[in-house]
A = this chain, B = another copy of it.
Amino acid sequence: MRYMIFGESHGPAIGVVLEGIPAGLELNLEEVQRELSRRKPGQDGISTARREEDKVQVLSGVFEGRTTGAPLAMVITNSDRRSGDYEALRYTPRPSHGDYAGFIKSKGNLDYRGGGHFSGRLTAPLTAAGAVAKQLLAERGIWVGAHISSIYGVFDAAMENAQALKTVAGKPFPVLDDAKGEEMRQAILQAKSEGDSVGGAIECAVVGMPAGLGGPDFGCNVEGIFAQHLFAVPAVKGVDFGAGAALALMRGSEANDPYAVQDGAVVTKTNHAGGINGGITNGMPVTFEATLRPTPSIALPQESVDLRSGEEVEIAIKGRHDPCVVPRAVPVIEAAAALAACQVLGL
């Protein structure tokens, strides 16, 4: 299974093609649409939303409701394409946005309107692809869950057990502890009111992965496969498995996960390794935390450079923008994890 995502924020449509998808899956399109709704901006009362229906259309790969094994193409039309005053940003890159790097890569042919191909809007087809992947995983008894683990220093309750994530998926603000979620919301609104943005982190678990998949080597190790999928999500700057960064502070006797036998199966009593040893799944949930940087588009003035004149200039982003993408990124991270899990399974 491979995929290609295409489209720009202000082009006619965005979409994805999934190649190598197993035949015979009864595709639940409502479920795909539901995942897209979770990702949609504006519903949490935080971001001023672009009005988009985000209705996915299947162009190929499904016949009489089932996948045929041929490439599955899904397209979402961009209906709200007001280009606004993006022109002002054409030659003055926003700090820490893809503008400058993209300008160089495209040799000056960057679609700068709304972030172009770098837009967070491109996470919609990724979410749709992930929703299909989730259905393939479900057939094999595997599911993916996630929660916001922190926003701007406000931490959600610890995930004692991956099962707890099952209740999170339906929440408009996907946390384990709703009181903490409310604190996070306030932190976001505070930043917004100051023309600023905040970052955060998402913790995710893939539950039901069989033991023995992957390998220690480049190209096949499970951490590497997951990381490659996760870093393709805009805003992700760090990926840490199991206990993650805390492992640097631990002794082996604390970090090691003791083996035990449960219902005849070998399990570990803790899961600091995040379900992966030596690059191979060990049968425990594959868990990781992804760090997301704050949205680079902010209303506060910032230092930039005019790429034509080479002069230093100041910019400030007007109009709608999103003070925190972390809540809406939860289904996107799940999608990337689901696609990674499919690759690990050899689907």
Contacts and interface: CB of A to CB of B under 8 A. Distances in A.
A238 B289 CA distance: 9
B5 A218 contact: yes
Interface stretch (A32-40, A41-49, A220-228): A220-228
B7 A261 contact: no
A10 to B, nearest CB: 10
Interface in A16-30: 17, 19-20, 23-24
B302 A264 contact: no
B100 A5 contact: no
A11 interface: yes
B259 A273 contact: no
Interface in A118-156: 118, 122, 150-153
A342 interface: no
Interface string A208-251: 00011111111111011101111110101111111111011111
A198 interface: yes
A102 B3 CA distance: 21
A231 B100 contact: no
A110 B64 CA distance: 9
B282 A101 contact: yes
Interface residues on A, range: 35 or more
Given A100-B277, A197-B252, A106 B69 contact: yes
A101 B277 contact: yes
Nearest to A229: B218
B277 A96 contact: yes
A266 B234 contact: no
A278 interface: yes
B239 A216 contact: no
29 contacts: A6-B70, A14-B59, A24-B106, A75-B75, A94-B256, A96-B256, A98-B277, A99-B277, A100-B282, A101-B212, A196-B251, A196-B253, A218-B229, A224-B231, A227-B227, A234-B278, A237-B244, A237-B273, A238-B244, A253-B300, A253-B302, A255-B293, A255-B294, A256-B302, A258-B304, A259-B305, A259-B312, A261-B312, A266-B307
Q: 6 tightest A-B contacts by CB? A: A98-B278, A238-B240, A104-B212, A197-B252, A101-B280, A70-B117
Given A12-B59, A197-B252, A238-B240, 18 more contacts: A4-B71, A7-B71, A11-B59, A19-B217, A23-B109, A69-B105, A70-B117, A98-B216, A104-B212, A152-B250, A153-B249, A196-B252, A223-B237, A224-B232, A237-B241, A253-B298, A253-B302, A256-B298
